Amino acid sequence: TDVVLEVRDLAKTYPVRRGVVVKREVATVRAVDGVSLTLRRGRTLGLVGESGSGKSTLAKMLVGIEKPSRGEILVDGVDVTDLGRADRRRLRGTIQMVFQDPYTSLNPRMSVGEIVGEAFAIHPGAVPPGGRDKAVHELLDRVGLNPDHVSRYPHQFSGGQRQRIGIARALAVSPRILICDEPVSALDVSIQGQVINLLEELQDDLGLSYLFIAHDLSVVRHIADEVAVMYLGRLVETGQDAEVYDHASHPYTRALMSAVPVPDPTRRDRPEIVLEGDMPSPSKPPSGCHFHTRCWLAPTLADAVTDETRPDGARVPSVCRHDSPKLAPQESPDHLAACHFASDAARR
Ligand code: SF4
Ligand code: MG
């Protein structure tokens, strides 16, 4: 099998405590609520959702920064969920993270050579035969930076160059999986493409697998082979990129798609869908389908007499307010969507 990373029913809950003298637990935040994913060798899975959807918490569990409350993480079929510290350190060699903000994720008091070389100190076995300095030199060259700038400090580089430093640091221990947490969100649009092109080149050369996290479908479109859309801690749609982009079957995905500029003029006839309101708090997710308070489709399907009123006054099908929809196959069996009315959503 070519599956390198498998996530099964992963969940993370946090207690919310309040009180001046005695802190009482007043609520539970379900940041990630039963997510299952597979990542294949040499492929990119794009994970998309608004901020607060739980995608960063998911990423932190994968690299061992957060401990899952439930579920399993398998790397090459081996369960690494409950690894101790030493084993986790070894695992970190396999899974590395590229952080969102290249301005805060690099230590300003360390030179580029120290930042990239530090990985070898943390993972002693990773120092290649030619020695550390040579390896750092090669890494900087590989990510398109001038190796002669090895003694410069982060502030002497542009945002895009700093993200290249972050990528070089991640590559130092020869990982097989990179978790890229919104790696281009903090960069100018003109620079974003260059960093994405670099990631694609590295993937082709090194056979890396990426979990590429973004809040914007258009960023993921270029790089992802498969797409997963997350809302309030749960996956609402997953599939091959073409399936998800051409036959989006969850009303939330359709709304996110509406914000993507359409390259094909024959498809301009689709009405624009505006996503109303903010994401509800993950400590108080709506009943039934988590998306029902913002869904544009549900009000068009409701029977005005028998169905129910949601907080904004719109009538929606009772099933949307009471039954949580499961991910279910669409026209192709590996394209899944979690909506009671997915076929209606795909047709609109
Ligand atoms: Fe909208 Fe109902 Fe589908 Fe949820 S199940 S996305 S509320 S139509
Ligand atoms: Mg690709």
The tokens 């997953």 sit on which residue? 238
Q: Could you tell me which of 225, 206, 325, 344 has the C-alpha nearest to residue 198?
A: 206
pLDDT in tens, 210-268: 999 998 888 888 899 999 999 999 999 999 999 999 899 999 999 988 866 655 555 55
Q: Are residues 174 and 269 in the same domain?
A: no
Rounded distance, CA 31 to CA 14, Å? Answer: 7
Mean pLDDT of 325-334: 94
Identify residue 23 by its one-letter amino acid code.
K
Rounded to 5 degrees, φ, ψ at 96 are: -120, 160
Question: Both 76 and 13 in a single domain?
Answer: yes
In a domain, residue 235? The reply is no
Strand bridging mode 315-316 / 328-329: unpaired
- Ligand at shortest distance from the CA of 199: 2
Mutate to test the pocket of ligand 1, among 229, 250, 290, 297 (most ligand atoms within 8 A of CB): 297
Q: Note whether residue 118 is domain-resident.
A: yes
Q: Is residue 230 part of a domain?
A: no
Domains held by the chain: number: 2
- CA distances (Å), origin 77, targets 57, 176, 209: 22, 14, 15
Residues 198 and 97 reside in one and the same domain: yes
Do 70 and 208 share a domain, yes or no? yes
Residues 48 and 181 reside in one and the same domain: yes
Residues 118 and 183 in one domain: yes
- Asked, for residue 298, whether it belongs to a domain, the answer is yes
Report CA(105)–ligand 2 centroid distance (Å): 25
Q: Which of 272, 277, 241 is nearest to 256 (CA)?
A: 272
Which residue, 224, 257, 274, sits at the end of a domain? 224
Q: Taking each helix axis from N to C terminus, what angle separates 112-122 and 132-142, rounded to the nearest 10 degrees?
A: 120
Rounded distance between C-alpha atoms, residue 4 and residue 59, angstroms: 15
Among residues 43, 39, 40, the alpha carbon closest in space to that of 2 is found at: 40
| Centre of ligand 2 from the C-alpha of residue 239, in Å | 14
- Per the structure, the complete domain to which residue 310 belongs is given by 249-347
Residues 137 and 206 in one domain: yes
Tokens standing for 165?
A: 């430093």
pLDDT reading at 270 higher than 70: no
CATH code at position 74: 3.40.50.300
Residue 232 lies in a domain: no
In this structure, the answer to whether residues 274 and 159 fall within a common structural domain is: no
DSSP 161-215: HHHHHHHHHHHTT--SEEEEESTTTTS-HHHHHHHHHHHHHHHHHH--EEEEEES
Rounded to two decimals, the pTM is 0.91
CA of 43 to the centre of ligand 2 (A): 6
How does DSSP classify residue 282? T
Is 150 within 8 Å of 137 (Cβ atoms)?
yes
Q: Does 305 or 68 have the greater pLDDT score?
A: 68
Q: Based on the fold, state whether residues 47 and 130 are members of the same structural domain.
A: yes
Q: Tell whether 88 and 177 lie within a shared domain.
A: yes
169 and 99 in contact (C-beta within 8 Å)?
no
Are 78 and 258 spatial neighbours (Cβ–Cβ below 8 Å)?
no
Residue identifier of the C-alpha nearest atom 7 of ligand 1: 292
Residues 192 and 260 in one domain: no
Note the pLDDT tens digit of each residue in 86-115. Answer: 676 666 578 999 988 877 889 999 999 999
Residue nearest to atom 3 of ligand 1 (CA): 339
Measured CA to CA, the distance from residue 230 to residue 237 in angstroms comes to 7
Would you tell me how many other CB atoms lie within 10 Å of the CB of residue 233? Answer: 25
Structural domain contains residue 231: no
Ligand 1: residue of 231, 254, 296, 339 to mutate (most ligand atoms within 8 A of CB) is 339
Give the ipTM of the model, two decimals please.
0.93
Q: Quick check: is 233 in a domain?
A: no
The three-state secondary structure class of 238 is strand
Q: Are 159 and 31 part of one and the same domain? A: yes
In a domain, 99, yes or no: yes
Measured from CB, residues less than 6 Å from any atom of ligand 1 are 251, 289, 291-292, 295, 297-298, 320, 325, 339-341
Q: With 70 as the cut, is the pLDDT of residue 284 above it?
A: yes
